[in-house]
Amino acid sequence: MVNLTINGKKIKAAKGSTLLQVARSNDIMIPTLCSADALEPYGACRVCVVEIKINKNSSLETSCTYEVSEGMDIQTDSPAVIKARKYVLELLLARCPNVKAVQQLAAQYGVEKPGDHLSVENEYCILCGLCVRACNEVVKAGAISFFGNGKKKAVGSPFGLGAEDCIGCGTCAFVCPTGIIKVRDFENATDNIPAGELQIGPERVIENWDRNLKLKECKHSGSPYAPEFMLEKFKKTMPLTPQFFDIAPSYREYPEVDEERCVGCGACLDECPVGAIRLKVKDGTKDEVRSNIMKTHCCGCRTCTIYCVRSAIQVPAIA
């Protein structure tokens, strides 16, 4: 543990933590546009700058990338910090004047418009890199990346062509702070060809990456639920049960814990490949610990049923 001070408040923090993590865990607000818990710190937007004083030296640093150290004195809203954030927000507002997230954050700092010395563009991407990092670090598809330099820097698929490695998961759209990435599902997609109209069926379209993916229909409900390309890729790389590839999430049968047989040994928790199991205290008695399967995280692989020493985890038969 290290001792530091943030805005006059003395705090103990774990070594290796970033200033942003420590501030948030102590209810100290630091704005950011390019940070996500599931991704490595990047420091692209520069909105999270703070003033750091170590001995007699002072500097402005991005809090999302700067690790804590003993004796640090941090100011999150000093005059120097406010001035730096205003300048960054002026630049962002000049690039993306119609992006709601930028407008709202700029308004909090009294920035209503970019300075007269800045030329106003009409972009919607703030180049935060969240979509690129999520695609590479979390999804590991590597379908999109940065290209170009300076004012020509942008996000896109290789050579500006359709992103052939995109699995259509929609993670890029989920993390995008500006909403510029559009993922649309169509129940009955069609295409115009010289011979007439071609019926495609259920399809997912990601316009930004010029990607069209056929959707698989659930065997139980008949409703489309996921791109076939994504499911086929998962089938080759992940030890999942057939229901994962044939049945929509809301119709799947997930493992259930018999709390009378479970002894809370934690074997299932250690072996779960997606972190969908946690131990909980039953009835508030510390001596009674039981496994709890979070269906929002469970992928239906049934690994837990194999490693349960008491056969307390079972999967109901699928009708």
For residue 85, name the pLDDT band (cuts at 50, 70, 90).
very high
Q: What is the pLDDT of residues 188-214, one digit of tens each?
A: 887 777 877 777 889 999 999 999 999
Contact of 254 with 300, CB cutoff 8 Å: yes
Q: What's the whole-number mean pLDDT along residues 230-248? A: 86
Q: What's the whole-number mean pLDDT along residues 108-128? A: 91
Q: What is the pLDDT of residues 129-181, one digit of tens each?
A: 999 999 999 999 999 999 988 888 999 988 777 789 999 999 999 999 999 99
Fold agreement (1-122, 253-314): no
**CATH code 3.30.930.10 for 253-314:** no
* Fold held by 1-122: Ubiquitin-like (UB roll) (3.10.20)
Domain ranges across the chain = 1-122, 130-230, 253-314
Contact of 282 with 290, CB cutoff 8 Å: yes
